[in-house]
Amino acid sequence: MLRQPLINIEKVSKSFGKKKVLDNLTISINEGEILGLLGRSGCGKSTLIKILVGYHKADSGRIIFNGKEVSGNFNEVKKLVGYTTQENSFYEKLTIQENMNYYAQLYSVDKKHIQARINKLLKDVKLDSHKDTLAGDISGGMKRRLDFAISLLHEPKLVILDEPTTGLDPILVDNFWGIIRATAKEQKITVLISSHMLTEIEQNCDRAAIIADGKIRTIIDIKKGIDLETQFRKSVK
């Protein structure tokens, strides 16, 4: 089945001082897909993500999200986006349950359904048996799963994960990706994940977009069996 674009990013540019970080970047993100955003450090991945979640404003270009231009409609659009940063976003001195309750209220989740939503998400990310544990006392892999669960509380259409597996050992990486894939499929969400790890993108994403010098250099349909490493090396010379 042909997927329809959820987001169209059209000729977006962003500079910080004299340094141009994004240069007329254009890409579409399809509804229901897991799209990997690949690139070396400093290529513009995090800047693009921060524009999508409203931390930065593009200098030029436009972003169409779910049929609406983000500019002028961001308060409405942000309700449809979940975001997991490279750093933990929860409070370490609160329990897992308390963190989930806090963010559910912050995201204005319907009070009648808060506990049911929390229970389901904690079960999905395999944290239900640890809900009364202080967040600061759980392992690195569990912290990543808690951040992911928090980003899903308000039932977003798009979840953005910014290098979420950095620092995790290979077994934890595999476990986390299993949760991402299962959750995306069940809840019918679109996932944009930035990474510099070619193997995990190749094994888990539907497509990979390679960014270099602030531009999308190529977009690869991973299911077609194209050698991602070769394409990456060609694109980031």
Per-residue pLDDT tens, the chain, 237 aa: give them: 567 889 999 999 999 999 999 999 999 999 999 999 999 888 899 999 999 988 889 999 999 998 888 877 767 777 889 999 888 889 999 999 999 999 999 988 988 899 999 999 999 999 999 999 999 999 999 999 999 999 999 999 999 999 888 888 888 889 999 999 999 899 899 999 998 888 889 999 999 999 999 999 999 998 777 778 888 888 877
228-237: string of b/e by CB count within 10 Å (b at 16+)? beebbeebee
pLDDT at 79 (0 to 100)? 84
For the chain, the 3-state helix, strand and coil shares in percent, each to the nearest 5, are 40, 30, 35
pLDDT at 229 (0 to 100)? 81
pLDDT at 215 (0 to 100)? 93
What DSSP line would sit under 4-21, residue for residue?
PEEEEEEEEEEEETTEEE
Structural element, H or E, at residue 157 = none
**Contacts of 18 by beta carbon, 8 Å cutoff, 6+ apart:** none
Domain boundaries, given as residue ranges, for the chain? 5-86+156-235
3-state secondary structure of 34: strand
Q: Is the distance from CB of 159 to CB of 152 less than 8 angstroms?
A: yes
Q: Is the distance from CB of 209 to CB of 15 less than 8 angstroms?
A: no
CA atoms within 13 A on the CB side of 147: 25
Structural element, H or E, at residue 216 = strand 215-221
Q: Which CATH superfamily is domain 5-86+156-235 in?
A: P-loop containing nucleotide triphosphate hydrolases (3.40.50.300)
